[in-house]
Amino acid sequence: MRTYIYAGIISLLLVASCNNKGKREEKTIAVNEVGLNAPDFIGDSTAAYDDPQQIPAPGSPQQRVKEKEPSVIPESKPDWNKKIVKTASLNVEVKAYAKFNQLLRSSVAKFGGYIANEQQTETEYKIENTVTVKVPVDQFQATVDFLTSGDGKINEKVISSEDVTTQYVDTRSRLEAKKQVRLRYLDLLKQAKNMEEILQVQNEINDIQEQIESATGRINYLSNASAMSTINLTYYQVLNASVQEPGKETFWQKVKEAFVSGWQAIGEIIVGLLYLWPLWLLATAVVWWIRWKGYFKQKKVA
């Protein structure tokens, strides 16, 4: 009887121990599942971890994901406006000089510019005009494109740009410094005790004032030069293609012109001598009078 009782107790203990083991395995599996799902809700901050030791070490999946995210770098904006001096040199052969001349003036006015200088020449071979055009810097490229977009032949097109921002900023800084120095000298002028000190301080103020005016003029020049671009335009129309263009003659043509020019020079010399006929007449009279006077002296002596 006791044997059956002991056997029943042992069976109950075995069953109980198996149940406890199963519960521990379920808890372990649940914890592992939570640990595997943790990266799905972990953010960039470490505040999601209660224990500092739980913060992922460098190189962990969380850190690698964070390092792959691109960072946006804001564009840096300059502290001042760029001062760019733009210049263009154009040489264009046109088919209708008068039409292009009128179109040039209307287009320059349209782009907000003006003609600063103009020189027109005309020969038997061609009629030519050289102008200096000033246009706003933001209309520079549009004006150049317009002037070279016609049916004319472009012989030359040169565009250059010069950044004078550094010169402008340096000159402006020196100008402000000179103004501060002038203010200090003005204070010293008020504290001068005699005429000698007044004259000495006044001379320094005059020198600084000249430097201030020079720097101001330089700043104004750079501002105007960068605000208004320059276009040096030469356009012409060939009037008579059969006539040789000056400066492009052949060797034999130059030899022929040399003979013609030499003969013309001789003719000019002869004509110039003829202009002096009163002098020649006077010289002849003087010589005759001297000889006549000498003749009578010899006759009296004899």
User: Residue 247 — very low, low, confident or very high, per pLDDT cuts 50/70/90?
Assistant: low
In this predicted structure, which of 61-65, 119-123, 228-232 has the lowest mean pLDDT?
61-65
Give the single-character DSSP code of 113: -
CA 7, 12, 16, 21: dihedral to nearest 10 degrees?
30
CA 263 to chain centre: 55
Q: Could you tell me which CATH number the domain at 84-163+229-238 has?
A: 3.30.70
Task: Say which residues have a Cβ less than 8 Å from residue 301's Cβ, sequence separation at least 6.
Answer: none
pLDDT for 141 equals: 93
Do residues 143 and 111 touch, judged by C-beta distance below 8 A?
Answer: yes
Comparing 31 with 202, which gets the higher pLDDT? 202
Comparing 279 with 154, which gets the higher pLDDT? 154
DSSP β-bridge partners for residue 120:
129
Comparing 253 with 3, which gets the higher pLDDT? 253
Provide the strand spans (E) within 218-294: 228-238
Average confidence score pLDDT of the chain: 76
Sign of CA dihedral 46, 47, 48, 49: positive
- At residue 39, does pLDDT exceed 50? no
User: Residue 253 — very low, low, confident or very high, per pLDDT cuts 50/70/90?
Assistant: low
In this predicted structure, which of 18-27, 75-84, 184-193, 247-256 has the lowest mean pLDDT?
18-27
- At residue 52, does pLDDT exceed 50? no
Nearest residue to 94 (alpha-carbon basis) of 239, 262, 225: 239
Q: What does the domain layout of the chain look like in residue ranges?
A: 84-163+229-238, 166-221, 249-282
- DSSP H helical ranges for 38-124: 61-67, 97-110
Cβ-count burial of 90 within 10 angstroms (0-12 exposed, 13-18 middle, 19+ buried)?
A: buried
Comparing 41 with 18, which gets the higher pLDDT? 18
- At residue 139, does pLDDT exceed 90? yes
Comparing 151 with 207, which gets the higher pLDDT? 207
Residue 31 to residues 23, 47, 142, 213: CA-CA distances in angstroms? 12, 21, 73, 83
Nearest residue to 235 (alpha-carbon basis) of 139, 114, 99, 124: 99
- Distance between the two ends of the chain, CA-based, in angstroms? 211
pLDDT for 302 equals: 57
Do residues 155 and 82 touch, judged by C-beta distance below 8 A?
Answer: no
